[in-house]
Amino acid sequence: MQLHSSVFYSRRLILFLPPLLDLFIILSMNTDVNLRAADNIRILSMSMVEKSKSGHPGGAMGGADYIHILFSEFLNFDPDDPAWINRDRFFLDPGHMSPMLYSILTLTGRFSIDDLKQFRQWGSHTPGHPEIDLSRGIENTSGPLGQGHTMAVGAAIAERFLASRFGELFAHKTYAFISDGGIQEEISQGAGRLAGFLGLKNLIMFYDSNDIQLSTETKSVTIEDTAMKYRSWGWNVININGNDQDQIRNALKLATSENDKPTLIIGKTIMGKGLLDNDGKSFERKTSTHGMPVSEAGGSFEKSLINLGGNMDDPFMIFEDVRDLYKIILSGKSGNAAEWKKRKADWASANPELDKKLHAFYAGNLPEIDYKAIQQKEGSATRAASAAMLSLFATKIENMIVASADLANSDKTDGFLKNTHPFTKGDFTGAFLHAGVSELTMAAIINGMAIHGGIIPACGTFFVFSDYMKPAVRLACLMRLPVKYIWTHDAFRVGEDGPTHQPVEQEAQLRLMEHLKNHHGENSMVVLRPADAAETTVAWKLALENKNTPTALILSRQNIKDLPSEKNDRFADALQSDKGAYIVADCHGKPDIILIASGSEVSTLIEGATLLRKDNLKVRIISAPSEGLFRNQTEEYRKSVIPDNIPVFGLTAGLSVTLQGLVGPRGSIWGMNSFGYSAPYKVLDEKFGFTAENVYKLVTAYLKTYSK
């Protein structure tokens, strides 16, 4: 669909204003003031980058017309309540266009001019790429291209999920803004495919198509027909001049009335719109302005600023008529929000139980679950134990959504699916997302669900394919999103599938995220590798109770013997997993050797200890499902589990370095230091030395050298 100019004025924002203001608004909302508002955004964006001597002005200047029309005339939000649950969501994908976002949020009152002047500086509220801060109107952290709009897909799914349970009163739009780079990123295929397949009618994405990227023009790397691509995925596609405000209005009007498909608005924009060079000639459409200040890119900051109506004495000035316009706009937004809240209050009075449930969803409250009463099959694989938990959650946790990347019957997320049904176009009454073979897309989508609020999202795949997910996992850690990862087939015991599917280095990579702190000083992630079914039950308990960071569950393919319990209460023992590491089996007096592992290797240590005890050795065995949680404990507790000056032997199916921080500098580790091989897993246990006999042999040799 191609749109041409035809003027119409949106009256959404004036519905609830006093009549005397009505005429003033219509007179104010003329072409000149709207163009000046867009130019004001261009000036602020350009000035931020110029002052900081760092940043990306060109794209922000090209997108100014769209962002002004969207925020002023279409985006529903409450200026006094940034966390309003029924606000429209706006997800920026190209984080380098942060000057555009900070500028529009300054016009809406979320940032100050001083904030803009501190762009990219230590301690400022305006970092180089936006970081999630709902109080300032920033819905998502963005920067790695492709993830922002994929998170928007997740938020749009969450919106449909909640509306299907509480009614269309809770419907709202999800807007995304994507650039040429985001379109090129591979993740865009998964996001586009799923959004079209599910018919996310309330998802509206603007593609800022300026034909320029950081190093080249886009024609140097692609000849694709983007509109045709998205149409083939089931999207409604509209082509416009992205700097023509009337075309933007008409496109958004059509998009917001769409009832069947997500909408892509392809706006052809001008990189660096309004820029002049030192001779006063146009400096638009230059690759150099993508990623450096105008004056360094070859243009004239002074001439460009004056050309756009600015003043060199005050380059951060907000034009008076633009300021007045936004005062009126914000009053209208407040009126709209107040009217909705009145309708919501009426709904709550008529539906008190539903309202209670809605509040519980958004508060992240969990139902009462008697974890001790859960019966796990003896000696089961931890992925099977997880399936038992998920089966229960599907009936108990009404706002949980589980996704799988075409592996539900293998990663055992089908335990959840058996008690619900998958999302399909127009039907979000279920709670399962078949993501298809697209692990990174899936991870970014559940980030978007978590950002939206009201949802507890989890997703599953093989542990080796966590490699595909790392960029989205990292953003989840940075944003403190309480998403849950279900990673199964945790080690070389995948067996016959061979080294392509056998994780080795993956656990060490994830454990590093337990070492890395987020900006709140917390471990950025909780990583749990349970040793048996009871620990898996507790791992899920910990995962659900963790509302501040992502949680990963690393689970076995093969069956594992249940660990022994001296008090015949394995569940009570496993509850100690919340300390990260605990004593599974101990000796009387001071140990001669401490054995430590996580996952299925703990049961191997149990068997090895039986042989060591025949030599009259005193053995302590430790299960360490989470090194990060263990490091959070008091020194007193840590020393009580692993005292100084006692030999420590670690066993891991991952890289040896995985346990280095636990065994200490004098400890000994038997691990995997090469890729695996294709063979039955019991054969691999023998070949790789993961047997009781080899544990006995290694520990005996280690003890002979330790005292020396």
Based on C-alpha coordinates, what's the Rg of the chain?
29
Q: Which residues contact 400 (CB under 8 A, 6 or more apart)?
A: 393, 394, 416, 431, 455, 456, 457, 458
Nearest CA-CA partner of 570 in 603, 543, 600, 535: 535
Handedness of CA 654, 659, 663, 664 (dihedral sign): positive
**Contact call for residues 43 and 224 (beta carbons, < 8 A):** no
**Contact call for residues 517 and 523 (beta carbons, < 8 A):** yes
Residues paired with 434 in a beta bridge:
404
Q: What does 314-350 look like in DSSP terms, one character per residue?
A: -TTPPPHHHHHHHHHHHHHHHHHHHHHHHHHHHHHHH
C-beta atoms surrounding 278 within 10 Å = 13
Q: Which two tokens stand for residue 264?
A: 């892509």
- 177 secondary structure, DSSP code: E
Q: What are phi and psi of 373, to 5 degrees?
A: -80, -10
* Alpha helical stretches, state H, 575-665: 601-613, 627-631, 635-641, 660-663
284 assigned to active site: no
Biggest CA pair distance of the chain: 95
**Contact call for residues 502 and 492 (beta carbons, < 8 A):** yes
CA 362 from centre of chain: 17
- Which of the following is catalytic: 50, 439, 507, 514? 439
3-state secondary structure 273-305: CCCECCCCCECCCCHHHHCCCHHHHCCCHHHHH
Residues 382, 394: Cα–Cα separation, whole Å: 18
Residues paired with 238 in a beta bridge:
265
Residues 289, 311: Cα–Cα separation, whole Å: 21
Residues 296, 301: Cα–Cα separation, whole Å: 9
Cα torsion through 138, 111, 55, 46, rounded to 10? 130
Residues paired with 651 in a beta bridge:
597, 670
Residues 225, 448: Cα–Cα separation, whole Å: 27
Q: Which two tokens stand for residue 108?
A: 């809406």
Q: What angle is formed at CA 227 by the lines to CA 225 and CA 229, rounded to 5 degrees?
A: 70
The residues that are catalytic are 439
